[in-house]
Amino acid sequence: MQPHSPQAEGDKLFHCTSESTRKRDTAIQVCIEILRIAEF
């Protein structure tokens, strides 16, 4: 087992945040689509 380097921790954190950002963006897209459909 290698000790965790700050770089590795940062990468993991970055991956987590980019994951959740993409999920949030997807959720926003879905909301926009629903609202667009609801207008008709």
How high is the pLDDT of residue 33? 93
Q: Mean pLDDT for each 10-residue chunk of the chain (40 residues)?
A: 70 79 91 86
What pTM was computed for the model? Answer: 0.50
Largest CA distance in the chain: 58
d(CA 35, CA 26): 14
How high is the pLDDT of residue 21? 87
d(CA 38, CA 30): 12
The radius of gyration computed from the CA coordinates of the chain, to the nearest angstrom, equals 17
How high is the pLDDT of residue 5? 73
Q: How many residues does the chain have?
A: 40
